[in-house]
Amino acid sequence: MAMRYLIGPMSRPMRLGLFAAVEAAGIVVQSLMPVAFLPGTAIMLAGLLLTFSQGYTNKPNDLGFEDWKPVTFEEVRRIHGNLSGTRGVRLPLLYRPAAKALLVVLVFVFAAIGFFAPWVGPGSGTGRYFIGLLNSFIILVPLFFGGTVKLWTPTELAMKLSAFEPVFTEDAAADIVTTPYIRFDKDSDGRQIPEDLRFMVELRRNPPDFVGVQFQVVINNGENGPVPYMYAVYLCKGKAVSFQRVSALSFGEMVTEPGGDDEYATLVVRQETSGTGYHTDEADCKRLYRMVVEGMRRIAK
Protein backbone atom coordinates (compact mmCIF):
# COMPACT_ATOMS: atom_id res chain seq x y z
CA MET A 1 0.00 0.00 0.00
CA ALA A 2 1.49 3.35 -1.06
CA MET A 3 1.55 6.21 1.41
CA ARG A 4 -0.89 8.99 0.46
CA TYR A 5 -0.07 12.54 1.57
CA LEU A 6 -2.30 15.54 2.17
CA ILE A 7 -0.24 17.54 -0.35
CA GLY A 8 1.01 15.70 -3.38
CA PRO A 9 1.99 13.97 -5.49
CA MET A 10 5.75 14.49 -5.47
CA SER A 11 8.81 12.32 -5.05
CA ARG A 12 9.94 11.52 -1.53
CA PRO A 13 13.35 13.28 -1.89
CA MET A 14 11.59 16.42 -3.15
CA ARG A 15 9.03 16.28 -0.32
CA LEU A 16 11.68 15.84 2.38
CA GLY A 17 13.90 18.52 0.85
CA LEU A 18 11.05 21.01 0.69
CA PHE A 19 10.06 20.16 4.26
CA ALA A 20 13.63 20.75 5.48
CA ALA A 21 13.79 24.09 3.61
CA VAL A 22 10.51 25.35 5.13
CA GLU A 23 11.54 24.30 8.66
CA ALA A 24 14.91 26.01 8.24
CA ALA A 25 13.20 29.18 7.01
CA GLY A 26 10.95 29.16 10.08
CA ILE A 27 13.96 28.84 12.41
CA VAL A 28 15.72 31.74 10.63
CA VAL A 29 12.65 33.95 11.06
CA GLN A 30 12.44 32.99 14.74
CA SER A 31 16.06 34.08 15.29
CA LEU A 32 15.71 37.54 13.72
CA MET A 33 14.11 39.16 16.76
CA PRO A 34 12.01 38.09 19.75
CA VAL A 35 8.76 39.39 18.25
CA ALA A 36 9.26 37.12 15.22
CA PHE A 37 8.94 33.98 17.33
CA LEU A 38 5.27 33.42 16.47
CA PRO A 39 5.61 34.05 12.70
CA GLY A 40 8.62 31.72 12.55
CA THR A 41 6.79 29.02 14.48
CA ALA A 42 3.77 29.43 12.15
CA ILE A 43 6.04 28.85 9.16
CA MET A 44 7.40 25.66 10.73
CA LEU A 45 3.89 24.40 11.52
CA ALA A 46 2.80 25.14 7.94
CA GLY A 47 5.69 23.00 6.71
CA LEU A 48 4.17 20.02 8.48
CA LEU A 49 1.40 19.99 5.86
CA LEU A 50 3.96 18.52 3.47
CA THR A 51 4.39 15.44 5.67
CA PHE A 52 0.81 14.73 6.76
CA SER A 53 -0.26 11.35 5.41
CA GLN A 54 -3.23 9.07 5.77
CA GLY A 55 -2.90 6.32 8.34
CA TYR A 56 -2.88 2.64 7.46
CA THR A 57 -5.80 0.46 8.47
CA ASN A 58 -6.83 -3.06 7.56
CA LYS A 59 -10.54 -2.24 7.91
CA PRO A 60 -12.15 -2.84 4.50
CA ASN A 61 -14.46 -0.39 2.79
CA ASP A 62 -17.26 -2.89 2.21
CA LEU A 63 -20.06 -2.31 -0.27
CA GLY A 64 -22.96 -4.07 1.51
CA PHE A 65 -23.11 -7.35 -0.44
CA GLU A 66 -24.46 -10.51 1.23
CA ASP A 67 -23.26 -13.60 -0.58
CA TRP A 68 -23.41 -16.91 1.32
CA LYS A 69 -20.97 -19.48 -0.04
CA PRO A 70 -19.97 -23.00 1.06
CA VAL A 71 -16.31 -23.16 2.06
CA THR A 72 -13.87 -25.76 3.29
CA PHE A 73 -12.83 -26.26 6.90
CA GLU A 74 -9.34 -25.20 5.86
CA GLU A 75 -10.73 -21.84 4.80
CA VAL A 76 -12.51 -21.45 8.14
CA ARG A 77 -9.31 -22.27 10.04
CA ARG A 78 -7.32 -19.84 7.88
CA ILE A 79 -9.72 -16.99 8.62
CA HIS A 80 -9.78 -17.88 12.31
CA GLY A 81 -5.98 -17.93 12.41
CA ASN A 82 -5.72 -14.57 10.64
CA LEU A 83 -8.11 -12.92 13.10
CA SER A 84 -6.30 -14.42 16.08
CA GLY A 85 -2.98 -13.20 14.68
CA THR A 86 -4.32 -9.66 14.21
CA ARG A 87 -5.59 -9.52 17.79
CA GLY A 88 -2.15 -10.59 19.01
CA VAL A 89 -0.22 -7.80 17.25
CA ARG A 90 1.37 -5.25 19.60
CA LEU A 91 2.12 -1.92 17.93
CA PRO A 92 5.25 0.09 18.87
CA LEU A 93 4.76 2.98 21.31
CA LEU A 94 5.01 5.61 18.56
CA TYR A 95 1.87 4.23 16.89
CA ARG A 96 -0.26 4.42 20.05
CA PRO A 97 -2.68 7.31 20.72
CA ALA A 98 -1.30 7.93 24.22
CA ALA A 99 2.20 8.66 22.90
CA LYS A 100 0.81 11.05 20.29
CA ALA A 101 -1.28 12.87 22.89
CA LEU A 102 1.78 13.26 25.12
CA LEU A 103 3.72 14.81 22.23
CA VAL A 104 0.98 17.38 21.64
CA VAL A 105 0.91 18.30 25.35
CA LEU A 106 4.69 18.73 25.41
CA VAL A 107 4.64 20.97 22.34
CA PHE A 108 2.15 23.33 23.98
CA VAL A 109 4.01 23.25 27.31
CA PHE A 110 7.35 24.20 25.73
CA ALA A 111 5.65 26.83 23.57
CA ALA A 112 4.09 28.43 26.65
CA ILE A 113 7.34 28.34 28.63
CA GLY A 114 9.42 29.61 25.73
CA PHE A 115 7.20 32.55 24.84
CA PHE A 116 4.85 33.54 27.64
CA ALA A 117 6.97 33.01 30.77
CA PRO A 118 8.45 36.46 31.54
CA TRP A 119 11.50 35.07 33.33
CA VAL A 120 12.64 33.13 30.25
CA GLY A 121 11.38 35.40 27.44
CA PRO A 122 12.23 34.50 23.83
CA GLY A 123 15.29 36.72 23.83
CA SER A 124 16.94 35.14 26.90
CA GLY A 125 19.28 32.17 26.93
CA THR A 126 16.77 30.01 28.77
CA GLY A 127 14.05 31.09 26.37
CA ARG A 128 16.15 30.04 23.39
CA TYR A 129 16.68 26.66 25.05
CA PHE A 130 12.96 26.04 25.32
CA ILE A 131 12.39 27.35 21.80
CA GLY A 132 15.00 24.86 20.59
CA LEU A 133 13.12 22.04 22.31
CA LEU A 134 9.86 23.25 20.78
CA ASN A 135 11.39 23.32 17.30
CA SER A 136 12.75 19.80 17.80
CA PHE A 137 9.29 18.52 18.66
CA ILE A 138 7.76 20.27 15.64
CA ILE A 139 10.32 18.73 13.30
CA LEU A 140 9.72 15.29 14.84
CA VAL A 141 5.93 15.49 14.48
CA PRO A 142 6.00 13.50 11.16
CA LEU A 143 7.79 10.68 12.97
CA PHE A 144 5.00 10.47 15.51
CA PHE A 145 1.98 11.22 13.33
CA GLY A 146 2.95 10.19 9.79
CA GLY A 147 1.55 6.88 8.51
CA THR A 148 -0.16 5.78 11.71
CA VAL A 149 -1.39 2.17 11.88
CA LYS A 150 -4.84 1.09 13.07
CA LEU A 151 -5.51 -2.63 13.31
CA TRP A 152 -9.15 -3.64 13.07
CA THR A 153 -10.68 -7.01 13.95
CA PRO A 154 -14.31 -7.95 13.15
CA THR A 155 -15.22 -8.75 16.75
CA GLU A 156 -18.51 -10.54 16.09
CA LEU A 157 -17.05 -12.81 13.41
CA ALA A 158 -14.12 -13.67 15.68
CA MET A 159 -16.52 -14.57 18.51
CA LYS A 160 -18.63 -16.72 16.19
CA LEU A 161 -15.58 -18.58 14.90
CA SER A 162 -14.52 -19.32 18.48
CA ALA A 163 -18.04 -20.48 19.37
CA PHE A 164 -18.15 -22.81 16.36
CA GLU A 165 -14.75 -24.31 17.08
CA PRO A 166 -16.17 -27.11 19.28
CA VAL A 167 -18.41 -28.08 16.34
CA PHE A 168 -15.83 -28.19 13.55
CA THR A 169 -13.29 -29.95 15.79
CA GLU A 170 -15.80 -32.70 16.64
CA ASP A 171 -14.82 -36.12 15.26
CA ALA A 172 -16.61 -36.53 11.93
CA ALA A 173 -18.95 -39.52 11.85
CA ALA A 174 -19.22 -41.56 8.67
CA ASP A 175 -22.94 -40.84 8.28
CA ILE A 176 -22.68 -37.06 8.78
CA VAL A 177 -21.69 -34.32 6.32
CA THR A 178 -20.84 -30.89 7.76
CA THR A 179 -20.44 -27.87 5.48
CA PRO A 180 -19.38 -24.40 6.67
CA TYR A 181 -21.02 -21.41 4.98
CA ILE A 182 -19.53 -17.92 5.10
CA ARG A 183 -21.29 -14.72 4.15
CA PHE A 184 -18.97 -12.59 2.04
CA ASP A 185 -19.10 -8.89 1.31
CA LYS A 186 -16.89 -7.10 -1.24
CA ASP A 187 -14.73 -3.99 -1.07
CA SER A 188 -14.17 -1.40 -3.79
CA ASP A 189 -11.30 -3.50 -5.22
CA GLY A 190 -13.50 -6.60 -5.58
CA ARG A 191 -11.86 -8.51 -2.71
CA GLN A 192 -14.08 -10.82 -0.67
CA ILE A 193 -14.62 -9.90 2.99
CA PRO A 194 -15.89 -12.63 5.38
CA GLU A 195 -18.62 -11.25 7.68
CA ASP A 196 -20.70 -14.11 9.07
CA LEU A 197 -20.61 -17.88 9.53
CA ARG A 198 -22.98 -20.82 9.92
CA PHE A 199 -22.80 -24.61 9.53
CA MET A 200 -25.07 -26.99 7.65
CA VAL A 201 -25.12 -30.56 8.96
CA GLU A 202 -26.71 -33.31 6.82
CA LEU A 203 -27.05 -37.06 6.79
CA ARG A 204 -25.26 -38.78 3.94
CA ARG A 205 -28.58 -40.51 3.27
CA ASN A 206 -31.15 -37.84 4.01
CA PRO A 207 -34.85 -38.73 3.90
CA PRO A 208 -36.34 -37.10 0.77
CA ASP A 209 -38.24 -34.43 2.75
CA PHE A 210 -35.39 -33.62 5.17
CA VAL A 211 -32.87 -30.87 4.27
CA GLY A 212 -30.58 -30.85 7.30
CA VAL A 213 -29.76 -28.75 10.35
CA GLN A 214 -28.26 -25.27 10.38
CA PHE A 215 -26.13 -24.28 13.35
CA GLN A 216 -26.04 -20.54 13.87
CA VAL A 217 -24.58 -18.15 16.43
CA VAL A 218 -25.85 -14.75 17.51
CA ILE A 219 -24.07 -12.33 19.82
CA ASN A 220 -25.96 -11.42 23.00
CA ASN A 221 -25.21 -8.64 25.46
CA GLY A 222 -24.02 -10.31 28.64
CA GLU A 223 -23.34 -8.86 32.06
CA ASN A 224 -19.66 -8.40 31.19
CA GLY A 225 -20.00 -7.64 27.50
CA PRO A 226 -20.95 -9.49 24.28
CA VAL A 227 -21.23 -13.30 24.44
CA PRO A 228 -22.00 -15.98 21.78
CA TYR A 229 -25.26 -17.94 21.77
CA MET A 230 -25.54 -21.01 19.52
CA TYR A 231 -28.79 -22.60 18.36
CA ALA A 232 -29.83 -25.20 15.78
CA VAL A 233 -32.58 -25.16 13.13
CA TYR A 234 -34.00 -28.38 11.64
CA LEU A 235 -35.07 -27.76 8.02
CA CYS A 236 -37.70 -29.94 6.36
CA LYS A 237 -39.51 -29.79 3.03
CA GLY A 238 -43.05 -29.15 4.16
CA LYS A 239 -44.64 -30.63 7.26
CA ALA A 240 -44.64 -34.23 6.16
CA VAL A 241 -43.04 -37.33 7.72
CA SER A 242 -39.62 -35.90 8.67
CA PHE A 243 -41.09 -32.80 10.28
CA GLN A 244 -43.56 -34.89 12.26
CA ARG A 245 -40.70 -37.06 13.51
CA VAL A 246 -38.56 -34.03 14.37
CA SER A 247 -41.43 -32.43 16.26
CA ALA A 248 -41.90 -35.60 18.31
CA LEU A 249 -38.26 -35.72 19.46
CA SER A 250 -37.33 -34.90 23.06
CA PHE A 251 -34.37 -32.57 23.63
CA GLY A 252 -34.33 -32.62 27.40
CA GLU A 253 -33.94 -29.16 28.92
CA MET A 254 -33.62 -27.53 25.50
CA VAL A 255 -36.37 -25.25 24.18
CA THR A 256 -37.99 -26.18 20.85
CA GLU A 257 -39.85 -23.73 18.58
CA PRO A 258 -41.67 -25.03 15.45
CA GLY A 259 -42.12 -22.64 12.56
CA GLY A 260 -41.90 -22.21 8.81
CA ASP A 261 -44.65 -22.84 6.27
CA ASP A 262 -46.01 -25.56 4.03
CA GLU A 263 -43.00 -25.30 1.72
CA TYR A 264 -40.22 -25.32 4.33
CA ALA A 265 -40.91 -26.20 7.95
CA THR A 266 -38.44 -25.49 10.76
CA LEU A 267 -37.81 -26.54 14.34
CA VAL A 268 -35.47 -24.37 16.39
CA VAL A 269 -33.60 -26.11 19.20
CA ARG A 270 -31.91 -23.78 21.66
CA GLN A 271 -30.79 -23.36 25.22
CA GLU A 272 -33.16 -21.68 27.67
CA THR A 273 -32.10 -18.03 28.00
CA SER A 274 -33.06 -17.55 31.64
CA GLY A 275 -30.29 -16.93 34.18
CA THR A 276 -26.98 -17.23 32.35
CA GLY A 277 -28.50 -19.29 29.51
CA TYR A 278 -28.07 -16.44 27.02
CA HIS A 279 -24.40 -17.55 26.73
CA THR A 280 -23.45 -20.94 25.26
CA ASP A 281 -19.95 -21.94 26.30
CA GLU A 282 -17.87 -24.72 24.75
CA ALA A 283 -19.60 -27.49 26.72
CA ASP A 284 -23.05 -26.10 25.82
CA CYS A 285 -22.16 -26.01 22.11
CA LYS A 286 -20.89 -29.59 22.11
CA ARG A 287 -23.96 -30.83 23.99
CA LEU A 288 -26.30 -29.06 21.55
CA TYR A 289 -24.42 -30.44 18.53
CA ARG A 290 -24.40 -34.03 19.76
CA MET A 291 -28.05 -33.92 20.81
CA VAL A 292 -29.19 -32.50 17.46
CA VAL A 293 -27.09 -34.93 15.39
CA GLU A 294 -28.49 -37.86 17.35
CA GLY A 295 -31.99 -36.51 16.63
CA MET A 296 -31.16 -36.49 12.89
CA ARG A 297 -30.24 -40.15 13.04
CA ARG A 298 -33.44 -41.04 14.85
CA ILE A 299 -35.72 -39.40 12.26
CA ALA A 300 -33.92 -41.24 9.44
CA LYS A 301 -34.60 -44.70 10.88
Q: How far, rounded to the nearest angstrom, does the alpha carbon of residue 17 sit from its chain's CA centroid?
A: 38
Tell me, yes or no, whether 117 and 197 share the same domain. no
For residue 113, is pLDDT > 90? no
Tell me, yes or no, whether 132 and 179 share the same domain. no
Average per-residue pLDDT in the chain? 81
For residue 182, is pLDDT > 90? yes
Tell me, yes or no, whether 1 and 127 share the same domain. yes
Lowest-confidence segment of 55-64, 93-102, 115-124 by average pLDDT: 115-124
Tell me, yes or no, whether 189 and 290 share the same domain. yes
165 within a domain of the structure (yes/no) = yes
82 within a domain of the structure (yes/no) = no
Tell me, yes or no, whether 210 and 286 share the same domain. yes
Rounded Cα gap, residues 299 and 135, in angstroms: 79
pLDDT at 1: 45
Tell me, yes or no, whether 144 and 4 share the same domain. yes
241 within a domain of the structure (yes/no) = yes
Tell me, yes or no, whether 144 and 266 share the same domain. no
60 within a domain of the structure (yes/no) = no
Tell me, yes or no, whether 121 and 10 share the same domain. yes
pTM comes to: 0.66
pLDDT at 246: 92
Tell me, yes or no, whether 159 and 129 share the same domain. no
Tell me, yes or no, whether 170 and 108 share the same domain. no
pLDDT in tens, 183-236: 998 887 778 888 899 999 999 988 999 999 999 999 998 888 889 999 999 999
The mean per-residue pLDDT over the stretch 2-16 comes to 76
Residue-number span of the structural domain to which 213 is assigned: 155-300
Tell me, yes or no, whether 49 and 176 share the same domain. no
pLDDT at 189: 76
Rounded Cα gap, residues 179 and 201, in angstroms: 6
Beta strands in the chain (DSSP E): 56-57, 67-70, 149-150, 176-186, 192-203, 210-222, 225-237, 255-260, 264-270
